[in-house]
Amino acid sequence: MTDTADWGARPDGWLDDATLAAVRRQLPIVYVDAVPVRVDESGDVILVGLLLRMVNGAMSRALVTGRVMYHERIRDALLRHIEKDLGPMALPAVPPTPQPFTVAEYLPTPGVTPYHDPRQHAVSLAYVVPMAGDCSPQQDALDLAWMTPEEACSERVIAEMSGGQGYLLRQAMAHVGRLP
């Protein structure tokens, strides 16, 4: 068995930039997408949290998203990315064995699927995740806005999202019975 250190892995488990670029050109990469929500006492979604980020030099609304590292469980990847984007006090309610509401296939060629990522072919498992704690934008997230599902799925907000994340958001709201 080949040690990952032989082909560009850093001690923290990430690939160095050159190796990641080479891998992205040849293999699909596994991601997780999380739609952060607030729920009422009966479990119905009442608010959706959307991040504000700089994406390709433009401001964009976004979901929580990120790569799954080698030897990392999906649940752990979700928790890591939620904490990275929403802070350690977000208190996400991720079940012990999470089940995605859909699988999104991001391709570098636009128009093949509703999802597009010019850097790579990525397969993303998508989840709706209730948040119980205080959320605040972290790292490269500039802001976090809580909106009703109707506001979040409006044409205006969907137009602010890139790469097909607006389509994914609408799928999430349909999954929880809140598509306007």
CATH of the domain at 161: 3.90.79.10
| 14/138: higher pLDDT | 138
CA dihedral sign, ordered 105, 109, 79, 142: negative
Is it the case that residue 5 has pLDDT exceeding 60?
A: no
**Residue 68, SS3 per DSSP:** coil
Residue 119 lies in a domain: yes
Residue 14 lies in a domain: no
Q: What percent of the chain has pLDDT over 70?
A: 92
Residue 1 lies in a domain: no
Is it the case that residue 180 has pLDDT exceeding 80?
A: no
Alpha helices in 12-162 (DSSP H): 17-26, 74-86, 149-152, 155-159
Is it the case that residue 76 has pLDDT exceeding 70?
A: yes
pLDDT recorded at residue 1:
40
pLDDT recorded at residue 17:
82
The average pLDDT across 148-152 equals 98
Q: Is 122 exposed, middle or buried (0-12, 13-18, 19+ CB in 10 A)?
A: buried
Count of domains forming the chain: 1
The average pLDDT across 24-51 equals 94
d(CA 147, CA 126): 19
Is it the case that residue 11 has pLDDT exceeding 70?
A: no
pLDDT recorded at residue 137:
92
The average pLDDT across 89-110 equals 95
Residue 20 lies in a domain: no
Residue 42 lies in a domain: yes
Average pLDDT, the chain: 91
Residue 2 lies in a domain: no
d(CA 47, CA 147): 5
pLDDT recorded at residue 26:
79
Q: What percent of the chain has pLDDT over 90?
A: 76
Strands 122-130 and 29-39: parallel
pLDDT recorded at residue 6:
58
Q: Is 154 exposed, middle or buried (0-12, 13-18, 19+ CB in 10 A)?
A: middle
Residue partners of 155: CB distance under 8 A and separation at least 6: none
Cβ atoms of 32 and 68 within 8 Å: the answer is yes
Q: How confident is the model at residue 18 (pLDDT cuts 50, 70, 90)?
A: confident
pLDDT recorded at residue 22:
80
Domain containing residue 151: 28-175
Residue 122 lies in a domain: yes
pLDDT recorded at residue 23:
75
pLDDT recorded at residue 118:
92
Query: CA-based angle 109:112:118, to the nearest 5?
Result: 25
Residue 113 lies in a domain: yes
